[in-house]
Each structure stands twice: as structure tokens, then as C-alpha cells.
Amino acid sequence: MGEVFVRLRRGRWPLSKGLLVEALLPLGVPLEAAQAVAHTVEERLKEEGRKEVGPKALRQVFLEEVAKALDQGVAERLSRQTLPFEEILVLRGKRQRPFSKGLLAQSLEEAGLPLKEAHALAKAVERRLREEGVRRISARRLEQVVAEEVARAKGKGAGRRYLERQAFAGELFVEEEGGEPRMPFSKGILAQSLMGIGLSPEQAYRLAREMERALRQEGRRVVGRTELRERVYQALLKEVGEEEARRYLLLRSLRRSARPVHILIGGVTGVGKSVLASALAYRLGITHIVPSDAVREVFRASLSQDLLPTLHLSTFEAWKALTPSLLTQESHEARVLRGFLDQVARVAVGLRAIQERSALEGTSIVLEGVHVVPRYLDHPHRERVLTVPMLVVLHDEKLHRDRFLLRDRETLTPAPRKSTCGTSPRSASSRTTSSAWPRRKGPPSSPGRTWTRRWKRPWRCWWPTSRPKARGWPVLEALAFPLLLALAFRLEKRLPLWP
């Protein structure tokens, strides 16, 4: 016979012997004895031909087998409890819903408790309710029980603050559009969105607290996503102005796009691709940033130098591994470019695989690195994503050299040879060739010097304040939001993102 299912209000679930064991262990029953009883219960149900059993019937069978195998006293103590496979219903007015440790842990996290402590307290609350035999409990009484457990673990002041907060189980819900499940209102998530448009953490959390306070004063329990967004927009208009309010709407529309976003950031070494990638990923809520150097290192570890010699040299020295007969009639610049493109073609195999996997899974990614050349990254699932290619170019050679010096100080590595600095003919030719590609192929080029003139106030990124900054880093920080504006404009006008 197959599995035995337990029928609950929310559907049916496979019988879990672990839940039966979990009910016996707190009573001092040894693990092996508890496992034997659970096995006996399952076998009995199968012998009786029960494919589906309700909580009441399962409770009766469980208590009978405990009385036979263990002791009548254990069975009596167990009968006074709410067993793990039985639901505890939380009553709020005429509505009732099953008790959820996850929602309770989330409310404890929002009260300021660390993740592990929040989940431990949620388990303690559930254990107390089951030991007391609670089957139904009002939301107000449950909140008092939670406050008592918080006070027992953290002190009376913490329990009092939790009661004043009145946020158990998402008392204030955000209603999604299109019939999606409601989500508890979170000040932390709202504050994170506000920090993403450039507000300081103090300002963002203050606005989030004021928004929650206003909704509670109105007696609201459910607020629509669109209404909440409009309220935040109006609050930003009064607090910081129209520009930041418009940024918030643009950022929210991008984050809730139906299609995932693939951002491709290319450019030579030292122009700030990684900084720009981190800034864009933070603002768009993208959690996957893939540097092309990491893909190249995987290939180097997997493929021998004899098989792919250009892969085992630096990007702009890969030409040295090419066949000499191909290089005799070419200029030095053409040789460097040929070697570079050969290495790009090899690394692009891995980058395309990452793009295809992300497109099929519907996840957004940022690909950044010197090997990110859009014409090598075409894939069959391109229509499923919004692909945004861009190239970062730095024309100031002295500024480029300063970037290398800054990297040396941060990584404590020896200074690079002069041939790899911004003043070398090889790097200069690479910059010239790279900046010429967008004019021929289409991806936007981002010349660092002009952005500070176009945007009077730099778009600040929240980098650690102890990080030393060379001249020009604010320029890269100013790139993030203008690029977001360009992306939003293309989406709004339904312009093609790929040339």
C-alpha cells in the first residue's frame, strides 16, 4: 500500500512519523521507543486500508498505540496536549487562520530580534500552546503569550515594547495585484527601497515608520500595493522633492518587471565596471553579479594551456599565444585586438550558458568584465529577458593610472608594469577600439568625465566610508541612476533594448 495522508483544512499532507516522534520526546520518551511507536501507527493505518485519515482519527490511533507500547500515564499526559499534526487556529473577529511559526518569527525579526532568536522564540510559543492543549486562540491573547515569552527571554522591557508595537502576524497587510497572496507590511523592506533611491538610512527608516504609523492611525489592516506606492510617492514629494519621488516610481516599476533584466557591462581594466555593477544590482534588487574573470578562471582550471593557450594569458597579452604566421603582416594594435577577441570568444561560451540558464529560470543577473562584448553573447532565449548592454570608457589616462594605484593600495599587490597602465600604447589602443564599438554596434558608451557636468548632484552610493577614493570615483557613482533612467525610458516607450 502507498502513503497515508492526513486531511487538514488547507488540503492533505503525507503522514510524517517525525511529527509523532516530536510529540513524544518532550515527555521523556527515548528516541528509539518514540520511533517504534510512530512506525507502529503507520503500519496499523496501512493494514486497516486507510489511505486518508483526519486529525481526530489519527489522534485516537496514536494515543491507543502509546498506551499499549509505553505507559498509560504517558498517554494521559499526551491526551491533554495539542499534537503536532493538529492545527492551532488564530481567531480575529469572525475569521480564523492556522497558526504559523514563520509569520510569528517574521514579526519578531521586525521587532529587532536576530533571525535565530526569532525562530527559537516562535518555536517556544508553539510548544507552550501545544503543551497547554490550545486548539483555538484569539489574536489578542496570542500576542500576550508572545510578549510573555519575549519578556522571559529578553526582559520585561522587550516584552512591553513588543506589545506596544502590535505587529503580530502582519496585522497590517499589503495586498498584491492579480490575486497574489497578501504580504505583511515591512518597514525594513520599505526603508531598503528608499535607500535605493539615495536617501540616508536614518531618513529612510523615519519615513517608513511614519508611513506605518499613519496607516495604523487610520485603522487600516489591508492596504493595496498601488495605494501604498502612491502614499510613499506623495510623502517623498513633501520630504525630499520631485526628483527623488520620480526615482522611487521608476525603481519600483523596474523591480516588478515581468521579464528578468540582464545587464551586460563591458570595458577595459580599471574603468570601474565592478563598482557600477554593484550600484545597479543594489538599486534593481539583483542578487547575481557574475564577473567574466571568474568564468575565465574556471576554464583555466578545466582546460589545459596546450588546448587553449590564449585563455592562460592576460587579456591584452593573449596575442602572444596565437600562431606566428597570422601575426606577421599585422600591426601591433591589430595583433592585440586579435588575441583579445580570441580570448573573448572562449570566455563567451561560459557567459552565454549563464545567460541561458538565468533566462530559463527567470532570474536577473549582471555580467561584468573585460570579456563582456555583446555581439559574442547572443543566445536563443534572448526574447525572454530585457538585455541591457553598456560599455564603460575612461578617456583620461592620468585618472586611469590613479585607479591602478588605488587598487594596489587596497589589495596590497605590487604595482603593475608600465605597459599595463593607462598611458601605455596597448591600453590606449584598447580604449580607442572599445569606445568605437558602441558607435558601430549600438550599446551605450559611458564616458566618465561628462557625467558630472550633466548631473549637478552625484548619485551617491552607500559604500563603506573607510574606503579610500581616488579622483574620479564619484563619476562612476553618478553613472548608476542615469543608466536606470535610460532603461526606464526605453521600457516606457517600448524601444528595443538590443540593437
Torsional sign, CA 7, 12, 15, 16: negative
DSSP 303: S
Count the Cβ atoms, other than its own, within 10 Å of residue 446: 24
Between 347 and 467, residue with greater pLDDT = 347
Q: Give CA–CA dist 250/31, Å, rounded.
A: 56
363 in the same domain as 485: yes
Structural domain boundaries enclosing 488? 261-493
Q: Which of 289, 290, 252, 275 is nearest to 458 (CA)?
A: 275
Q: What is the mean pLDDT of the chain?
A: 77
Among 126-140, 187-201, 326-340, whose mean pLDDT is lowest? 326-340
pLDDT at 394: 83
Q: What is the pTM of this model?
A: 0.49
pLDDT at 458: 34
213 in the same domain as 117: no
Supply the DSSP string of 84-114, one letter for each residue: TTS--EEEETTEEEE--HHHHHHHHHHTT--
271 in the same domain as 414: yes
Q: Which of 119, 145, 171 is the last residue of a domain?
A: 171
| Beta carbons of 37 and 55 less than 8 angstroms apart | no
Take residue 218 and report the three cell numbers written for it: 487610520
165 in the same domain as 241: no
Terminal CA-CA length for the chain: 60
Supply the DSSP string of 380-439, one letter for each residue: TTGGGSEEEEEEEE---HHHHHHHHHHHHHHHT-PPPPGGGSTTSHHHHHHHHHHHHHHH
H helices, E strands: number in the chain: 20, 14
pLDDT bracket for residue 481 (50, 70, 90): low
In this prediction, residues 452-466 reach a mean pLDDT of: 35
Take residue 238 and report the three cell numbers written for it: 513633501
25-64 burial: b if 16+ Cβ within 10 Å, else e = eebebeeebbbbbbebbbeebeeeebeebebeebbebbbe
344 in the same domain as 317: yes
Of the ranges 188-197, 447-456, 487-496, which is most confident?
188-197
Q: Which of 222, 255, 288 is the last residue of a domain?
A: 255
| 499 belongs to a structural domain | no
pLDDT at 369: 92
Among 3-12, 93-102, 114-123, 435-444, whose mean pLDDT is lowest? 435-444
131 in the same domain as 273: no
Take residue 49 and report the three cell numbers written for it: 486500508
pLDDT at 75: 86
| Beta carbons of 190 and 232 less than 8 angstroms apart | yes
> Is 457 exposed, middle or buried (CB count within 10 Å of its CB: 0-12, 13-18, 19+)?
exposed
| 357 belongs to a structural domain | yes
Between 288 and 165, residue with greater pLDDT = 288
| 84 belongs to a structural domain | no
230 in the same domain as 350: no
pLDDT at 292: 92
Q: Give CA–CA dist 315/340, Å, rounded.
A: 6
| 19 belongs to a structural domain | yes
Angle at 151 between CA 145 and CA 155, to 5 degrees: 175
pLDDT bracket for residue 463 (50, 70, 90): very low
Angle at 308 between CA 302 and CA 310, to 5 degrees: 115
Q: Which of 37, 61, 79 is the last residue of a domain?
A: 79
Among 99-113, 281-295, 401-415, whose mean pLDDT is lowest? 401-415
- Residue 121 CA from chain centroid, whole number: 25
| Beta carbons of 295 and 287 less than 8 angstroms apart | no
Which amino acid, one-letter code, is at 95? R
412 in the same domain as 319: yes
Q: pLDDT tens digit string along 368-392? A: 999 999 888 888 888 888 888 988 8
Between 256 and 134, residue with greater pLDDT = 134
| 349 belongs to a structural domain | yes
330 in the same domain as 298: yes
| 22 belongs to a structural domain | yes
Q: Give CA–CA dist 372/368, Å, rounded.
A: 6
| Beta carbons of 286 and 263 less than 8 angstroms apart | yes
pLDDT at 284: 77
3-state class (DSSP) for residue 271? coil
Strands (E), 240-336: 261-266, 288-291
Instruction: Supply the CATH number for residue 306's domain.
Output: 3.40.50.300
321 in the same domain as 397: yes
**Predicted confidence (pLDDT) at residue 264 exceeds the cutoff of 90:** yes
Torsional sign, CA 426, 427, 428, 430: positive
In this prediction, residues 437-454 reach a mean pLDDT of: 47
| 478 belongs to a structural domain | yes
Q: Give CA–CA dist 150/118, Å, rounded.
A: 9
220 in the same domain as 138: no
Between 425 and 124, residue with greater pLDDT = 124
Number of domains, the chain:
4
195 in the same domain as 167: no
pLDDT bracket for residue 411 (50, 70, 90): low
Q: pLDDT tens digit string along 290-344? A: 999 999 999 888 888 888 888 888 888 888 887 776 666 778 888 888 888 889 9
| Beta carbons of 50 and 67 less than 8 angstroms apart | no
| 424 belongs to a structural domain | yes
Which amino acid, one-letter code, is at 25? L
pLDDT at 422: 40
Q: Which of 124, 125, 120 is nearest to 137 (CA)?
A: 125
